[in-house]
Chain A
Amino acid sequence: MSMAQYMSVFIDESKEHLQLMNDSLLKLEQEPEDIKIIDEVFRSAHTLKGMSATMGFTRIAELTHHMENVLDNIRTGKATVDTGLVDILFECLDTLNALVDEVIEGGQESTEVTELMEKLEGMTKGVSKEKTSKIPVKTQEVKKEEALVSGDSKLSMNFNEYEKELIVAGHYKEMKTYLIEVKLDEGCLLKAARTYMVFRNLEEIGEIIKSNPSVQELEEEKFDNSFVVAFLSNRPVAEIQKEVQDISEVRNVTVEEYIVTDIPEIKTEEKVVEKKAEVKTPAKTASKNDKPTEAVKKTATVRVDTEKLDALMNLVAELVINKTRLAQIGSEYNLQELSETLSHVDRVTSDLQSVVTKARMVPIETVFSRFPRVVRDLAKDLGKDIELIVQGKETELDRTVIDEIGDPLIHLIRNSVDHGIEKPEIRKETGKSTTGTILLKAEHEGNSVVITIKDDGKGLNEELIVKKAIEKGLISDDEAEKMSKEEKVKLIFASGFSTAEKVTDVSGRGVGMDVVRTKIEALNGSIEVLTDAGLGTEIKIKLPLTLAIIEALMVKLEDEIFAIPLANIVETIDIGKADIKVVQSENVVLLRGEIVPILNLSKLLDVDTNKPEIEDTNTVVIVKVGSKKIGLVVDVLIGQQEIVIKSLGKLFTGTKGITGATVLGNGEVALILDVLTLV
């Protein structure tokens, strides 16, 4: 691996650990008593320390080192968790994030850490002074823990924090910890090979935590004739003994159970076990690999540029087209065998297509994970008490949608915190619980994903909205009178609208909701608001699973084929010449009481045709443009199909009425209409 590759590993992993630390700190704030969470934070800090020290990023290493000291005091009971501590830890986290970002950008750490380190140091010192009397008691306990050896044992081993965690985790999985001493024959020639066999046999029935001498030394045969391994297993002593004894040239095996004292109570056992499995050792950057704990399974992943996935997608689509051509040849020449093979190819290609599509999907967790922190910080600044409930974070969406959805969501959540949820005293007065709740939920609904942001705050006052809208000249008095409640609420999405009485740096610059709506619509999504004054607001965002594929209606004009996105279509109808009236020299039709303009699509798109604009019977596609409807006259409706959207490229940006292109089954290109800019 070159330095650059180490660097990308470092960046990826430190980002992961910082996110992990963020999650843990948020949990810690809720459950300050839970020592498990402290352990999680400690582990992340520890790993970061190791990685950054290896890479030579001293500030990160020093800061995490100081964090470790403070956290260690908590773990050993010398200090307790309070909000001040959590705040400082969050501060450290922000600084670490900044440092890592600096490393990413220029490779140099420049954010100052001394002040924070002094704060941390102050905490550790304060602790030792304040609680001097307690220390002797505690140290005794610590000693006992470190000498975690059964009373009359001959074998012993020292474990570091991480290894102790593994032992504890194993204990909850009902695995016992054994110390196994293996003595090889004096004349053993291939000591490393024998050792390897011992390890292999043991790995089959349990988990090796540590060995003495280290694995590396064992591999290099840097030991006499015996070594000791710490081993986790649920098998009885005799079986373990036999498993090792059966290997040739092993002279003597001693298995002793290692009695673990002081195992902390934990609530959910499985959860802890899971967490352990996720812990990554900094093996990739560490120079010494003395931890056989590598055996802990990881999900193997590879980071792939989305451009490569797009290219793959293109190639798959091309494969499908060529397969269709082959099928045509097969039927032309009546080649039965070819057709049979092709039906197999057909299945393979459609599987391939769905795998590639899935490969682009990312769980929405990547976006949601930012929000607990945002809500916490904001609520704290505003003196509000807010609980954020996140549901369905495993819901998957296309990478491109995920990348775009973060900002609008953060805006909506900020709105909920800032304008939605009331201050505790007001909530008390209105008989609500002082803690406000914001629900953030993602779920599948057919071919789309619905994201709901629901708060139990004061809700939106539609009369106030209308008043503001009239003041700002967005609507007239007359218009306001005719509006339904829903339409009034929708005014918050109009550009230049903000209900905030003063501009805070949180929200209320008057661009917010308008931008949110535009962004969601650009993603082919929709947004709606449900609100009850006094009870809360619910915002529902509906997004397509992927931007790459849409449902469209294919239409023909002379011999040109165009696709109209189904999302824009209201209905298709046949209209006779007699039903079309001319109003202000425009063709219109009265459709269920609504006047709908009728336009000839061929004329709009300059199609070379001799047909009259209006014929005796006209096939009309009714589309919605914003809140209005338009009827488009087409020659033939071909049918509905799923199409893959492709960009027309830079040379065509700004071409009105056309949003992209798709490749048809015969390899030719059909254009996708953009109804919004067509007229």
Chain B
Amino acid sequence: MTENNLEKAKIIQIVGFKLNNEEYALEIENVQEIIKKVKTTRVPRSRKYVSGVINLRGIIVPIIDLKYRFSMSEQGYDDNQRIIILKINGISAGIIVDSVSEVIEIEEKQILPNPKQTNSDINSDYLKGVCKVDEERLMTLLNIEKVLEIKKHDN
């Protein structure tokens, strides 16, 4: 590979996780840490997809239920569930996921645009594209800034 090619092949690290049985991914820059699921404290009168708040080493962090956010069906909780703590523009927040799979390096060109016609319930604003990890495996890359940009998208 020449210098030129190296530059073009921009490598992105993504964190893969599962919601129900579908695979999703986040860019690693947004991820602060991953913790085991803990009990959240419900915040009355807050938006429904906010599961509550937790105490993360003395700091109060809001936790968002992604399945609720994406209007997915709830399939019960198990031990594999994790909270991914995100830090975006100085704001910390957590998302509940069913399991965290791995950190994967992909080239930018492996990210394909969203298929226009989907039956997905997820608002297409929340998606950046689909990562084609290999022939068999596809992951939906989330636009997490948009997902957390609560004011704009909530009534």
Q: A649-B92, A652-B46, A658-B43 are in contact. Are A669 and B53 (CB under 8 A)?
A: yes
B46 A668 Cβ-Cβ under 8 A: no
Within 8 A of A (CB), among B59-93: 59-62, 91-93
Which of A315, A604, A649, A668 contacts B41, CB < 8 Å? A668
Give Cα distance in the complex from A658 to B41, angstroms: 13
Q: Closest approach, in angstroms, between the C-beta of A555 and any C-beta of chain B?
A: 14
Docked-complex contact B41 and A670, CB < 8 angstroms: yes
Residues of B contacting A332 in the complex (Cβ-Cβ under 8 angstroms): none
Mark each residue of chain A from 658 to 679: 1 if its CB lies under 8 Å from any CB of chain B, else 0. Answer: 1001010001111100000000
Q: Output the least CB separation between A554 and chain B (Å).
A: 13
User: Are B57 and A314 neighbours in the complex by a CB distance under 8 Å?
Assistant: yes
Closest approach, in angstroms, between the C-beta of B119 and any C-beta of chain A?
30
Contact of B60 among A313, A606, A647 (CB under 8 A): A647
> Is residue B44 contacting chain A, with contact meaning CB distance below 8 A?
yes
A646 within 8 Å of B (CB atoms):
yes
- Interface pair B50/A651, CB less than 8 Å apart: yes
* A652, B59: Cβ atoms closer than 8 Å: no
Among B52, B54, B55, B148, residue most surrounded by chain A Cβ atoms (within 10 Å) = B55
Asked if A646 and B45 make an inter-chain contact with CB atoms under 8 angstroms apart, the answer reads: no
Whether, in the assembled complex, A147 has its beta carbon less than 8 Å from a beta carbon of chain B, the answer is no
A residues in contact with B93, CB < 8 Å: 649, 651
Interface residue from B43, B45, B59, B61 paired with A314 (Cβ < 8 Å): B59
Which parts of A621-679 form the interface with B (CB within 8 Å)? 646-652, 655-658, 661, 663, 667-671
Interface string of A450-476 (1 = CB under 8 A from B): 000000000000000000000000000
Nearest chain-A residue to B62 (Cβ)? A651
A248 to B93, CA, bound (A): 71
* B45 with A560: CB separation less than 8 A: no
**CB-nearest residue of chain A to B42:** A560
Interface range, A side: 20 to 34
Asked if A317 CB lies within 8 Å of chain B CBs, one says: yes
Whether, in the assembled complex, B113 has its beta carbon less than 8 Å from a beta carbon of chain A, the answer is no
Q: Tell whether A294 is near chain B: CB-to-CB under 8 Å.
A: no
The reply to whether A668 and B43 contact each other, CB–CB distance below 8 Å, is no
Q: Is B39 an interface residue (CB 8 A)?
A: yes
Interface size class of B (residues with CB under 8 A): 20 to 34
Which residue of B is nearest A604, CB measured? B44
Residue numbers in A under 8 Å from B41 (CB-CB): 560, 661, 668-671
Please give the distance in Å from B60's CB to the nearest CB on chain A: 5
A671 touches B43 (CB 8 A): yes
**Complexed CA–CA distance, A663 and B54 (Å):** 9
Residue numbers in B under 8 Å from A314 (CB-CB)? 57-59
How far, in angstroms, from A640 to B74 measured CA to CA in the complex? Answer: 39
B60 A661 Cβ-Cβ under 8 A:
yes
CA distance A669 to B94 in the complex (A): 15
A318 to B58, CA, bound (A): 6
Name, among B39, B50, B52, B53, the residue most crowded by chain A CB atoms within 10 Å (CB to CB).
B53
Q: Check A669–B50 contact: CB distance below 8 A.
A: no
Whole-angstrom distance from the CB of B51 to the nearest CB of chain A? Answer: 12
B39 touches A668 (CB 8 A): yes
For residue B1, CB closer than 8 A to chain A, the reply is no
Q: Could you tell me if A315 and B60 are in contact, using CB atoms closer than 8 angstroms?
A: no
A649 in contact with B62 given A655-B45, A658-B45, A671-B41 (CB within 8 Å):
yes
List, in ascending order, chain B residues with CB within 8 A of A315's CB.
57-58
A-chain residues with CB within 8 Å of residue B54 when the two chains form the complex: 669
Q: Does B6 count as interface, using CB distance less than 8 angstroms?
A: no
Distance, CA A112 to CA B150, complexed state (A) = 50
Please report B residues at the A interface, Cβ cutoff 8 Å.
Answer: 39, 41-46, 50, 52-55, 57-62, 91-93, 148, 150
Question: Shortest 7 CB-CB distances between A and B: which pairs?
Answer: A314-B58, A605-B44, A669-B41, A318-B58, A663-B55, A661-B60, A651-B62
Interface CB pairs A-B, < 8 A, 16? A315-B57, A317-B58, A604-B44, A605-B45, A607-B44, A648-B60, A648-B62, A649-B62, A651-B150, A656-B45, A658-B44, A661-B53, A661-B60, A668-B55, A669-B55, A671-B53
